[in-house]
Structure 1
Amino acid sequence: MKSYKDLDIYNLAFDYAIEVHKLSLKLPKFELYEQGSQVRRSSKGIKDAIVEGYGRRAYKKDFLKFLVYAHASLLECISQLEMIGELYEIEGVVELISKYNLLGGKIFAFIQYVEKNWKT
């Protein structure tokens, strides 16, 4: 692994953040800076935490801490998407939630891998 861009979890998080950003722009105007901003920040926070953790990969505990932050941001993002799904009829919300659920499993599995196999 030469770069964080070699991590599947990063690439998926990046792609999904783009999808969330575009989806959030379909919200009513009054929600663009409330619910829209919150879901955008949480989705982008997933990829950012993965990158920051990778940057600290020489320190196993730091790497794990940021992977846990990424997972927590993912859960927040799912919660935000669920709220959007309940309040507004925007196409693609259910699919994004499913994608994030799968990504959550991948992040969890990567956390377990790092815990067991990462050498510092």
Structure 2
Amino acid sequence: MKSYKDLIVWQKSVELVTQTYILTTSFPDEEKFGLTSQLKRSVISVPSNIAEGYGRKYTKDYIRFLQIARGSLFESQTQLEIAFRLKFVSQEEAIKINELSLEVEKMLNSLINKLG
């Protein structure tokens, strides 16, 4: 593996960021500095921490950054659930993005277990 960009979990998490950013364009304007901003920050943290951990010298550091990425993923899952309950997101959109999020979660868990 030449780069963190070769990791499928990184690629899928970038796709999750892209879909989330597109999704939040339909959120109410009054949420611009609230849920919209928080959701964007948490979801973008996932591939960012995967990449940062990959660049670390020690496996323990890498695992720690993968755990941080997983925590950010859980945070974004919670925020997406809130957005769904507030009817900012349709059921169809929620299912689609949740499926991708769960796929990233499983991949992160697998990578953490493999390295640990």
Give the TM-score taking structure 1 as reference length: 0.91
Question: Structure 2 matches for 1:1-120, cutoff 5 A?
Answer: 1-56=1-56, 58-91=57-90, 92-115=93-116
The aligned amino acid for 2:32 is L
Deviation at 1:95, TM superposition (A): 1.4
Aligned residues: 114
Overall identity of the aligned pairs, in %: 30
Q: Distance in 2 between matches of 1:71 and 1:89?
A: 24
- Unaligned 5+ residue runs, structure 2? none
Deviation at 1:50, TM superposition (A): 0.2
- Unaligned 5+ residue runs, structure 1? 116-120
Deviations 1:13-45 (A, max 9, x none): 001101101111110000122000011011100
Deviations 1:34-79 (A, max 9, x none): 00001101110001000000010x3011000000001000000000
Deviation at 1:89, TM superposition (A): 4.3
Q: Distance in 2 between matches of 1:38 and 1:25?
A: 14
The aligned amino acid for 2:95 is V
Give the TM-score taking structure 2 as reference length: 0.94
Report the RMSD for the aligned CA atoms in angstroms: 1.0
Q: Distance in 1 between matches of 2:41 and 2:95?
A: 19
Q: Distance in 1 between matches of 2:88 and 2:58?
A: 44
Q: Secondary structure at the match of 2:2?
A: coil
Q: Structure 1 segments of 4 or more deviating over 3 A? A: none
The aligned amino acid for 1:25 is T
